[in-house]
Amino acid sequence: MFKQLQVEHSLFLINQDHMNLFKNLAAKWQPVFPDVCAKCLNTLDSWAIVLNNWVFLKSQFTDELILNPSKAINYSINTFLIDELKKIQIIQKTKEFDNDDLQYFVAFQLGNAIDLWVYNTLEKSSEADLLLPQHLKPYFLAHLEDDFQTDNATFHRDQTRAIKILAQVIRSQNSFRITVSSAVNRAVYLYEQHGNK
């Protein structure tokens, strides 16, 4: 499924070389990570989450990888979660490792863990209806649809509703921080088991 990813799935300004490198890593590590956990989004968009996590981690080492300003506005929930990731110490420590393979392991584990955390958080809230439509339609390519610019009020309203819930949980509980830390630790463990072979 990751082979269907396009540059447009990235929230960051990337080129085809970045995409090819990501796809090569996904193919290389497919025996370890055969498929994503797709709870909130469809499978392709869940792979796009892994891609965006990987580019986010790579962006710590270069000035050329920056968030696409228009996508940062359109995909505000993702921008919000990226900003929250930056505040977590273990993510800051991960920046010390300029290693594509390790970054892929971390990106994959983060993608699955955060997807499950968002799903569980929204499912327990009074806004569980937010989970219903996202699984059925493309998410990261929504901005390419002809009617997106004229009929995107629901898309943005739903993201705002989700951010309010997630922000409240992040501010009042440690579940997000614990989720991220556990995902990174699991990624490092798996990398130590498989990455040096």
Per-residue pLDDT, averaged over 111-116, amounts to 95
pLDDT exceeds 90 at position 152: no
User: Is the per-residue pLDDT at 156 higher than 70?
Assistant: yes
Kindly tell me if the per-residue pLDDT of 151 is higher than 60.
Answer: no
**The pair of three-digit structure tokens given for residue 26, joined into one six-digit string:** 């996904």
pLDDT of residue 5: 95
Question: What's CA 44's distance to the chain center, in Å?
Answer: 12
> What is the percent of the chain with per-residue pLDDT over 70, rounded to a whole number?
92
- Mean pLDDT value of segment 64-84: 89
| pTM score above 0.95 | no
Q: What is the pLDDT of residues 35-66, one digit of tens each?
A: 898 888 889 999 999 999 999 998 877 777 88
| pLDDT at site 4 | 93
pLDDT at 192 over 70: yes
CB 24 within 8 A of CB 117: no
196 vs 32, residue with greater confidence: 32
Residue 38 pLDDT: 83
- Secondary structure string (H, E, C) spanning the chain: CHHHCCHHHCCECCCHHHHHHHHHHHHHCCCCCCCCCCCCCCHHHHHHHHHHHHHHHHHHHCCCCCECHHHHHHCHHHHHHHHHHHCCHHHHHHCCCCCHHHHHHHHHHHHHHHHHHHHHHHHHCCCHHHHHHHCCCCCCCHHHCCCCCCCCHHHHHHHHHHHHHHHHHHHHCCHHHHHHHHHHHHHHHHHHHHCCC
Per the listing, tokens 């991960």 go with 94
* AA identity, residue 129: D
What's the CA gap between 136 and 130, in Å, rounded?
Answer: 12
| pLDDT value for 150 | 56
What is the average pLDDT across 116-137? 81
Stretch 115-139: mean pLDDT = 81
- Residues 29 and 21: their CA atoms lie apart, in Å, by 12
Express each pLDDT in 137-149 by its tens digit: 788 888 777 666 5
Average pLDDT, the chain: 88
For tokens 């968009």, the residue is 45
Task: Copy the structure tokens of residue 154.
Answer: 């629901």
